[in-house]
Amino acid sequence: MAERTFWTELWNAKWALLNGIAITTELSAYVVVASTILGLLGGLVLVYGWRPAALLVRLYVDVMRGIPVLVLILFWYYGLALFKINIPAFWAGVIALAGFATAHMSEIVRGAIQSVPAGQSEAAKAIGLRFWQRLRYVILPQATRRVLPPWVNTAVEMVKATTLLSIIGVVELLLATQQTIARNYMVIQFYLAATLLYFVLNFAISRLGALLERRFAYMRY
Amino acid sequence: MQNHMKPNATSAATGAMPLLRAVDVHKSYDRLEVLKGISMDVEQGEVLALIGASGSGKTTFLRCINLLEEFQQGEIDLDGEPIGYRMTGGRRRKIPEAALSAQRARIGMVFQSFNLFPHMTAEQNVMLGLTKVRGKPAAEARDIARHWLERVGLAERRGHYPFQLSGGQQQRVAIARAVAMEPRLVLFDEVTSALDPELVAEVLGVMQDLARSGMTMIVVSHEMLFVREVASRVVFMDGGHVVAQGPPQELFRDPESERLRSFLGRFHGVFS
Amino acid sequence: MQNHMKPNATSAATGAMPLLRAVDVHKSYDRLEVLKGISMDVEQGEVLALIGASGSGKTTFLRCINLLEEFQQGEIDLDGEPIGYRMTGGRRRKIPEAALSAQRARIGMVFQSFNLFPHMTAEQNVMLGLTKVRGKPAAEARDIARHWLERVGLAERRGHYPFQLSGGQQQRVAIARAVAMEPRLVLFDEVTSALDPELVAEVLGVMQDLARSGMTMIVVSHEMLFVREVASRVVFMDGGHVVAQGPPQELFRDPESERLRSFLGRFHGVFS
Amino acid sequence: GARAAQAQLVDTSKSKLQQVLDRGHLIVGTGSTNPPWHFEDDTGKLVGMDIDMSRLLAKNLFDDPEKVEFVLQGSDARIPSLITDRVDIVVQWMTITPGRAQQVEFTVPYYREGVGLLMMADGGRFKKFDEVKAAGSDATIGAMQNVFIEDWVHQALPEARVDQFESPDATVQALNAGRVDAYLGDQSAIRWLMQQAPGRYVDGGYGWMPNSYASAVKPGDPVWLNWVNTVYREAMLGVDFPTFSASYKKWFGIDLATPKVGFPTEFS
Amino acid sequence: MLAYNFNWDVIWRQWPTIIEALLLGIGLAVASLAIGCIIGILCAFGRVSRHKWLDWAIWSYVEFIRNTPLLLLIFFVYFGLPQMGIRAFDKIESFILTLSLYAGAYMCEVFRAGLASIPNQYVEAAKAIGLRPWQRQLYVVLPVMFRITLPSISNTLISLFKDTSLAAAIAVPELTFTARQINANTFRVMEAWLTASALYLATSYAIAWVLRLVERRYSVIR
Ligand SMILES: Nc1ncnc2c1ncn2[C@@H]1O[C@H](COP(=O)(O)OP(=O)(O)OP(=O)(O)O)[C@@H](O)[C@H]1O
Ligand SMILES: Nc1ncnc2c1ncn2[C@@H]1O[C@H](COP(=O)(O)OP(=O)(O)OP(=O)(O)O)[C@@H](O)[C@H]1O
Ligand SMILES: [Mg+2]
Ligand SMILES: [Mg+2]
């Protein structure tokens, strides 16, 4: 048997790890996109919504933020199954993480909208713009700039949180790494490799956010 | 001192319908009553100055006219049509948002802090209402915007963002944005504070220009010299009431009201 | 028009050392020269008003005096001692931060936007410099703070935080904070903009009070009526130069300089 | 109430057995990170003792050992999976305890062993069980989270301190990093580790605390349980013995003696 | 309908252990936040200082920490340091160290934003009454920054508290660890997780509530 070095093991595990990266990326993409859309709605309801609806969203946001993500994952995977609704682990994970991230995104959107000075909305009213027009042309473009930094943070958090899906057997990057480690017990080396891969993925997101932020830098008060 | 509960004499004499008529407007924040029954008429083409101590309710009244605040009692009519509220089945109801927007579009407002949209150039600031509210095609809106920016002396600054403009320039963009909509009435809230005398003179020039072209305006200001120059009539508010009104020369030379005399204080007598 | 490169006539005549002497001060932001050689003397007990168009460098000059800005050339002396810079080995060097702080403590400044410390009550705002810079015990500092807050009419507001105070009240706390340090000189930057006429009168009262008690002040203002009331001498700046100076009555009645005449513009003549 | 429900379940047509046959493949809950029980080999294929047992079930159901779907899950997920019918059976390295048996029904065990101590061959503080015992409370033992693990350790080492980890690789890493002085592991795992990294580790040379490994099914389905038990028993003692003993040899390195013919020993 | 019979006895039997575990988690979070705040303040000032290399070094630290899963960081400190010959910390110390470094990176960003949003005028006013540089930082900049950043600090504390669940991975007996232990011992998975999440939720709420009181007490900045 050829000598087992880190590099031969890495070569052996290349497809497993690449597949892990693909799953992690796909999961993160679904979660970020879904939570951005839902968070936008949630944020709008929090700021402008009908009182009872706003209270419901607030309750949702607070509860979600107080529960460990792991429990949310178990709930969506097994909790629903108790009622005979069986969703695959991957989608249970997407729903759990997106539900959690939506709470954060709603808060972020609310904060951003409220940070736009009241005078802006009044000036928009004064020239006769309707509610949706004010939102579309005046409020949201300005809120976008405030949203970006915390949005990037949440996106990065979600990429990191996909690691928790290993518990329900989604073979994302961490579980793929652990499977490799279970075979060769090169613990530190492979965790380092995984760290590097996560870092690259997240750093790319951070840079993208910084790039967008710079594009909006002309908006000053 | 005139009775502030009745519309003033001007319109009563001519019999013509005033452009704006406020009757007994009351407005409270929670339990604090800020406007305690304001009535006034503004004629087409008039430049009305609102003066009064800080907290007397001037800004609040302007905001009621532009429907940025709700008021609890009284009526404000623009061109004879009640604004903001309608009586249906004996109850006073707020009109729906779409109708509110249409009414607001007929009134322009220039804010004390300008409130230009920071993500748009001067030109885009002026164009927004023209395209989205008036529904004009972009090309036409751009022409109108350029025309007005030129008129306020900002032709070469039209591509600048607000943060690239000085206070006086931002002020003038705000004026152009309000008047380009061809409103029936323009409200100015303390447009001259924080401007130096030269810029005050500049803004004054623009406003006198507008007045000559027949624009109706209500102007809130603390600068009595400016008021004297620009206003055709002055209304003095105190504690949520209209306490005195009249042409500036008369009012300043010989204030009937004790309160107005003390308000004008050491400046009184300057207006010879 | 006087030659702005030489200290003015007053001190030359008396021969006494002026409290503040600026000689040929030049200041640039990058390549933009804002002060192009400002020279002036301020005598003990004088109230000097700085007027001039926006951007003429008034604020910049005050900030140079208080060492909030570096200046590239020229010298400012307070009580005959050069401020901010020292010549060592033929080179002009900034003096160290600690020494700067000591010099600043001898000059008070009241900012246009008040700049009260938001996390401290009115009293604490006034006390901070007394305890930390003057090294007074807390009890004594509290007495001094209360004395000054009383003098500006805020005795019962001393426990309030800035956000609980009106603009005029904040303004007066800022004045108390500056003068409680017993500085040799107090600088006021547009203390009256954004105040209504009544509040302007109030602040004016406080400043006249200070002037009577022998406090030396430099006041930047856009309000000519205020300047006329408060100043013993007026300096008119334009484009980074001192263009004219003199007692307000003389200067306003009969402006020698063409530039000053146009600056005063339509307000000229008011100051009869 | 409960009795009526049980009576209904006995109806064979409603049993899991029938459902599985109808479905055409078996769904097994297991893990992927615990050699030699269940892990991925160099080619990325799931292998191990648990996997072989699952395939044996599939072979007996469909004549095709490939007709099995593995659902990977963490150890926290073993019970919810059964209760919520996500899997037909959990074949995942489960120790039988009476407490756990209140929640699930265990099959007959297919392996029994004790625990032992694994230590570093070089660089560690101890190499022998007796040395660890002599160190008393100065020794720290690392172990996988397990039933009453502290009791087990203290049965042999009354004073030793215990650190519990979630996964065997974390435990081994704790040993490598010197965080713990010895790894308390199943003897199967210890053997496997020593085989994987020859010369790196030593066995403390003492085993204690026997425990039995079995699969588990959802409670209340005697038909299904009985069928699985039948397969397991015949694997250990009857028709499937050749397959079973080959797996034993492969994963545990143990040569099983052929069951005695004649009167079945389990009834003697 | 639900094919599951709840049995809470196991939870009550373990109740003292559970509460102890909860308190340990809170303690870990608070200790890490405290250390993290100090790291964060120093780093924030480092980043706004004039030293380019310092700015760069801190930026690298922050980016590395923020873009790496916490679990992996925990493994590195706990397993990796001893293998590099550093054997100074036990498991709780290692975890606090990791979480502090983690919190420090986040707090650095929070404080940097706070510093950036302190109007320069306050500093100038402090200069004008003659305060020295360190007095300006101590009496004006820091107090104002703390008040501005209070909401972010409370958010960070809550997420740190939830992150203590990862300490289970290195055998620190906090709430998640205890819940898992109950699972392993009794297979009462539902009960254990429901209890744990209720406790997490209640504690998060309590933290948020307390900090909101603090915020209201100090929100003198509008
Ligand atoms: N949103 C609000 N909630 C409660 N009270 C308010 C609100 N806005 C204004 N007020 C109060 O209403 C009164 C009138 O305010 P308003 O702004 O109309 O005065 P003003 O005449 O414009 O004063 P200034 O000259 O200072 O601008 C003041 O006493 C003010 O404190
Ligand atoms: N930080 C800066 N960087 C670059 N240019 C500056 C800066 N601060 C001021 N300036 C420029 O310096 C000039 C003088 O500014 P200064 O604030 O002294 O004028 P001022 O006389 O006080 O005007 P105002 O009456 O409007 O307050 C202006 O042209 C201004 O644009
Ligand atoms: Mg107002
Ligand atoms: Mg200025």
Query: What Rg value do the Cα atoms of chain A yield, rounded?
Result: 21
Q: Which amino acid appears at position D101 of this protein? A: A
**For residue E1, pLDDT beyond 80:** no
CB of C170 closer than 8 Å to CB of C122:
no
- What CA–CA distances, in Å, run from E23 to B250, C60, E203? 77, 57, 10
Query: Tokens 């931060």 — which residue?
Result: C97
E8 close to C (CB below 8 A): no
**Site of tokens 């004039």:** E50
Rounded to the nearest angstrom, the minimum Cα separation between A16 and chain D is 7
Report which bound ligand comes closest to the CA of C241: 2
Q: Which of B59, B62, B113 to mutate to test the pocket of ligand 1 (most atoms within 8 A of CB)?
A: B59
Tell me what pLDDT residue D147 has.
62
pLDDT tens for E56-95 read 999 999 999 989 989 889 888 888 888 777 777 888 899 9
Distances (CA, A) of B211 to A212, B226, B230, C13: 45, 14, 9, 53
pLDDT tens per residue across span C207-265: 888 888 889 999 998 777 778 888 899 999 988 899 889 998 888 887 788 888 877 76
Tokens 């740190």 map to which residue? E160
Cβ separation of E70 and A160 shorter than 8 Å?
A: yes
Considering only residues A99 and A183, tell me which one the structure prediction assigns the higher pLDDT.
Answer: A99
Q: What three-state secondary structure class fits C34?
A: strand
pLDDT at E100 (0 to 100): 96
Q: Which two tokens stand for residue D105?
A: 């029904």
Ligand 2, pocket-test mutation among C28, C30, C33, C54, most atoms within 8 A of CB:
C54
Q: What is the pLDDT of residue B270?
A: 47
Q: Of E212, E210, E211, E197, which is closest to residue E162 (Cα–Cα)?
A: E197
Q: Which residue has the higher pLDDT, A64 or A78?
A: A64
User: How do the domains of chain A map onto residue ranges?
Assistant: 2-215
pLDDT in tens, B114-135: 889 988 999 999 999 999 999 9
**Per-residue pLDDT at D113 exceeds 80:** yes
Nearest CA in chain C to B261: C198
Q: Which residue CA neighbors atom 4 of ligand 1 most closely?
A: B29
| A positions 181-220 inside 8 Å of B (CB) | 216, 218-220
Domain boundaries, chain E: 17-218
Nearest to A57, CA basis, from A106, A98, A112, A114: A106
CA distance A198 to chain D (A): 20
What distance in Å separates residue C103's CA from the closest CA in chain B? 31
DSSP string for residues in C53-66: -TTSSHHHHHHHHT
- Which residues of B are less than 8 Å from A148 in CB distance? none
For residues E172 and E23, is the Cβ–Cβ distance under 8 A?
Answer: no
The proportion of chain E whose per-residue pLDDT surpasses 90, expressed as a percent, equals 29
pLDDT per residue over D40-70, tens digit each? 888 888 999 999 999 999 999 999 999 999 9
Which positions ≥6 away from D49 have C-beta within 8 Å?
Answer: D36, D37, D38, D111, D247, D248, D251, D252
> Are the beta carbons of B107 and A126 separated by less than 8 Å?
yes
Closest residue to E131, CB basis, from C103, C132, C178: C132
E2-53 residue pLDDT tens: 556 778 888 888 899 899 999 999 999 999 999 999 999 999 999 888 888 9
CA distance C227 to chain B (A): 13
Residues with CB under 6 A from ligand 2: B 196; C 29, 32, 34, 52, 54-60
CA triplet E91, D209, D31: central angle to 5 degrees?
Answer: 65
Cβ <8 Å between C104 and E127:
yes
CA of B36 to the centre of ligand 1 (A): 13
Q: For C109, left (φ over 0), alpha (ψ -120 to 50), or beta?
A: beta
Residue among C194, C195, C267 minimizing CB distance to B197:
C267
Amino acid of residue E153: I
Residues of chain C positioned with their CB less than 8 A from the CB of B199: 54
- Residues of chain A with Cβ-Cβ distance to E63 below 8 Å are 203, 206
Q: Is A141 on the interface with B (CB under 8 A)?
A: yes
Q: Which of C193, C197, C198 sits opposite B194 (nearest CB)?
A: C193
Partner B contacted by A124 (CB < 8 A): yes
Taking only residues 14 to 53 of chain D, the set having a beta carbon closer than 8 angstroms to any beta carbon of chain A reads 32-35, 39-42, 44
Amino acid found at C38: I
Give residue B15's pLDDT.
54
Distance (Å, whole) CA D243 – CA D24: 23
The long-range contacts involving C265-271, CB below 8 angstroms and separated by at least 24 positions, are C265/B197, C265/B198, C265/B201, C266/B201, C266/B225, C266/B229, C267/B197, C267/B225, C267/C224, C270/B225, C270/B270, C270/C224, C270/C225, C271/C224, C271/C228
Summarize the confidence of residues B136-151 as an average pLDDT.
94
Computed from CA positions of residues A37, A43, A48, A50, in that sequence, does the dihedral angle turn out positive or negative? positive
pLDDT of residue C193: 67
Q: Do C118 and E140 touch (CB under 8 A)?
A: no
Tell me the torsion sign for CA atoms B161, B165, B167, B170: negative
The answer to whether residues A74 and D80 touch, using CB atoms and an 8 Å cutoff, is yes
Buried b / exposed e over C118-149, threshold 16 CB at 10 Å, is: bbbbbbbbbbbbbbbbbebeeeebbebbbebb
pLDDT for residue B6 is more than 50:
no
- Phi, psi at residue A122, to the nearest 5°? -70, -40
pLDDT in tens, B71-83: 999 999 998 889 8
In this complex, whether B and D touch, counting 3 or more CB pairs under 8 angstroms, is: no
Could you give the CA distance from residue D257 to residue C261 in angstroms, rounded to a whole number? 119
Q: Which residue out of D81, D145, D184 would a mutagenesis test of the E interface target, given it has the greatest number of E Cβ atoms within 10 Å?
A: D145
**Which pair of tokens denotes residue B255?**
């204030």
Q: What is the pLDDT of residue E158?
A: 87
Chain segment B181-236, per-residue pLDDT in tens: 999 999 998 877 656 667 777 788 888 888 888 899 999 987 777 788 888 999 99
Would you say E20 and E206 are in contact if contact means Cβ atoms under 8 Å apart?
Answer: no
Residue contact C265–B197, C-beta within 8 A: yes
Q: Which of E13, E187, E190, E12 is nearest to D102 (CA)?
A: E187
Return the residue of E nearest to A195 by Cα.
E68
Distance CA A161, CA A177 (A): 16
User: Residues lining ligand 1, judged by CB closer than 6 Å?
Assistant: B 29, 32, 34, 52, 54-60; C 196
Task: Give the residue-averaged pLDDT of C175-203.
Answer: 83
| Domain A2-215 annotated CATH 3.30.70.20 | no
Q: Which residues, in sequence order, are CB contacts of E95 under 8 Å at separation 6+?
A: E28, E74, E77, E78, E164, E167, E170, E172
**Strand duo D161-165 + D140-144: pairing:** parallel
Strands C47-52 and C233-238: parallel
Give the strand pairing for B85-88 and D208-217: unpaired
**Residue E66 burial class via C-beta count within 10 angstroms: exposed 0-12, middle 13-18, buried 19 and up:** buried
> Are E121 and C115 in contact (CB < 8 Å)?
yes
B59 alpha carbon – ligand 3 mean position (Å): 4
Position A100 scores a pLDDT of 94
Residue pair D236/D228 in contact (Cβ under 8 Å)? The answer is no
User: pLDDT tens for residues D129-138?
Assistant: 888 888 888 8
pLDDT bracket for residue B269 (50, 70, 90) = very low
- Identify the closest residue of chain B to C260 by CA–CA distance: B198
Higher pLDDT, B110 or E181: B110
Q: Name the residue at shortest CA distance from atom 1 of ligand 1.
A: B29
- In this predicted structure, the answer to whether residue D7 has a pLDDT above a threshold of 70 is no
Which tens digit of pLDDT belongs to each residue from A129-147?
Answer: 999 999 999 999 888 888 8
Q: List all residues 6 or more positions away from B175 whose beta carbon is below 8 Å from its beta carbon.
A: B110, B152, B188, B191, B203, B206, B207
CA atoms within 13 A on the CB side of C20: 28
pLDDT of C1 > 60? The answer is no
Residue D244, phi-psi category: left (phi > 0), alpha (psi -120 to 50), beta (remainder):
alpha
pLDDT-derived band at C271 (thresholds 50, 70, 90) equals: very low
On whether the CB atoms of residues C165 and C173 are closer than 8 A, the answer is: yes
Torsion of CA A148, A154, A155, A161, to 10 degrees: 170
Percent of chain C with pLDDT over 70: 89
Query: B145 and B180 in contact (C-beta within 8 Å)?
Result: yes
Hey, are the CB atoms on A175 and D32 less than 8 Å from each other? yes
D178 interfaces chain E, CB cutoff of 8 Å: yes
Decide if B184 contacts B106 (C-beta within 8 A).
Answer: yes
Percent of chain A with pLDDT over 90: 45
pLDDT tens readout for residues C146-165:
999 998 888 888 999 888 88
Hey, whose CA ends up nearest to atom 6 of ligand 2? C29
- Environment class of residue C270 by beta-carbon count within 10 Å: exposed (0-12), middle (13-18) or buried (19+)? middle
CATH of segment(s) E17-218:
1.10.3720.10
Cβ within 8 Å, pair E80-A188: yes
Residue D119 contacts residue D244 (beta carbons within 8 Å): no
Q: Contact, A55 vs A62, CB < 8 A?
A: no
Note whether D touches C: 3 CB pairs or more under 8 A: no
CA distances for B83 relative to B87, D209, E11, angstroms = 11, 88, 65
Against chain D, the chains showing at least 3 CB pairs within 8 Å are A, E
pLDDT tens sequence across A11-50? 888 888 999 999 999 999 999 999 999 999 999 999 999 9
DSSP state of E121: H
CB contact under 8 A, D86 and A78: yes
Higher pLDDT, C125 or C12: C125
Model confidence at C13, pLDDT cuts 50, 70, 90, reads very low
Region A174-189 average pLDDT: 84
> Which residue has its alpha carbon closest to ligand 1 atom 2?
B29
Mutate to test the pocket of ligand 2, among C59, C187, C243 (most ligand atoms within 8 A of CB): C59
Which of E64, E67, E69 comes nearest A163 by C-beta? E69
Distance in Å, CA B57 to ligand 1 centroid: 6
- Answer whether B65's CB lies under 8 Å from B187's CB: yes
- Tell me the percentage of chain D whose pLDDT exceeds 70: 94
Name chain A contacts of E208, Cβ cutoff 8 Å. Answer: 62, 66
Owner of token pair 């990191």: A160
Enumerate the residues of chain E whose CB falls inside 8 A of the CB of residue C177. 129
pLDDT at C11: 43
Average of per-residue pLDDT values in chain A: 88
pLDDT digit string (tens) for D220-241?
899 999 999 999 999 999 899 9
User: What token pair was written down for B28?
Assistant: 């409270």
